[in-house]
Every structure is written in structure tokens, then in C-alpha cells.
């Protein structure tokens, strides 16, 4: 019973989030309780009946709000997982690109576009850059 109610609540929450023209279904709940003629009902009984109706409506609204919050939470978790996958994809592309550098340098040496002195000059610049970066780091962040 609870599972059916939860399923109906989630369907209602999903449907209410769509524009009316895009809703694939409608939800109608019929209690089948019949009618209570006013002549047979006292003011106290009617007030109690209305209070219980309001209580049931408040509980239904609470369940719908909880279902919508769960939908938003699940969507956020899914988006987080997608972003983690994209980060891993990008890291793989960086590793792949870094692996191409030595091959490109070897080809440049073979074809004569890069000489030994050019290579040593590049290594010297990289060493200077690393030294400056280590000097620029605060003491507590040096690793």
C-alpha cells in the first residue's frame, strides 16, 4: 500500500512539473465514500470532517514535496556523476597529449627542426620556471 502510494505520489510530482500540454497522463483519485447530506450532519461533525480533510491534504502535499525533493536530489547526484566522468575524460586526454610530446621532439630532432642547443635552452627555461615557482610558494605549501 505504501509503495503504491509512493509511486502515485512520485508520478503526480513528475506530472505536475511538466507543462499541461506535455503531460502524458492524468491522475484521478476516487475515494468512493459517497455523500453526506447536510441534514444528517451536525456542525461539529462537519467541522471534524473538514479538519480531517485538511489534515489529509496537508499530508498529501508533504508527500508530494518530499517526492519532488527526492527527484531533485537524484538529479543532482546524477549530474555530479556525469561531471566526474567528464573530468576523468579530460584527464585521459591530457595524459594522451603529454605522451605525444616526446614523440614529437624525437621527430623534430630527426627532421632537423630542433637542434641540441635548442633542446638544452628549452630544458634550462623549464628548470628556471620550476625554481621560480618553488620560490614563489609560501613555506607551508611547499611539498
Among residues of the chain, what percentage have pLDDT more than 70?
Answer: 73
* Sequence-ordered list of residues with C-beta below 8 angstroms from that of 17, at least 6 positions apart, any chain: 68, 71
3-class state of residue 131 by DSSP? helix
On the question of pLDDT at 10 being above 60, the answer is yes
Q: DSSP H helical segments within the chain, as ranges?
A: 2-17, 43-111, 116-136
C-alpha separations of 101 from 98, 109, 114, 117, 138 in Å: 5, 12, 13, 18, 31
Q: What is the pLDDT of residues 91-118, one digit of tens each?
A: 999 999 999 999 999 999 999 999 989 9
Question: CA-to-CA distance for 9 and 55, rounded, in angstroms?
Answer: 17
Domain map (residue ranges) of the chain: 2-15+50-138
Q: In whole angstroms, what is the distance from residue 68 CA to residue 99 CA? A: 47
Residues 33, 90: contact at Cβ < 8 Å?
no
Count of CB atoms situated within 10 Å of the CB of 126: 10
Q: Mind listing the pLDDT tens digit for each residue in 16-28?
A: 666 666 665 555 5
Residue 37 to residue 47: CA distance in whole angstroms: 14
Confidence (pLDDT) at 39: 76
C-alpha 115/C-alpha 96 separation (Å) is 25
Amino acid at each position: 500500500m505504501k509503495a503504491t502510494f509512493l509511486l502515485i505520489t512520485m508520478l503526480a510530482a513528475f506530472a505536475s512539473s511538466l507543462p499541461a500540454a506535455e503531460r502524458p497522463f492524468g491522475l484521478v483519485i476516487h475515494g468512493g465514500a459517497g455523500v453526506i447530506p447536510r441534514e444528517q450532519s451536525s456542525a461539529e461533525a462537519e467541522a471534524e470532517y473538514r479538519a480531517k480533510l485538511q489534515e489529509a491534504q496537508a499530508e498529501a502535499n508533504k508527500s508530494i514535496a518530499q517526492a519532488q525533493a527526492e527527484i531533485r536530489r537524484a538529479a543532482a547526484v546524477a549530474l555530479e556523476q556525469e561531471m566526474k566522468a567528464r573530468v576523468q575524460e579530460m584527464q585521459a586526454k591530457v595524459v594522451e597529449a603529454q605522451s605525444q610530446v616526446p614523440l614529437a621532439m624525437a621527430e623534430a630532432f630527426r627532421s632537423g627542426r630542433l637542434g641540441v642547443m635548442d633542446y638544452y635552452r628549452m630544458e634550462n627555461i623549464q628548470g628556471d620556471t620550476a625554481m621560480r615557482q618553488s620560490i614563489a610558494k609560501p613555506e607551508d605549501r611547499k611539498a
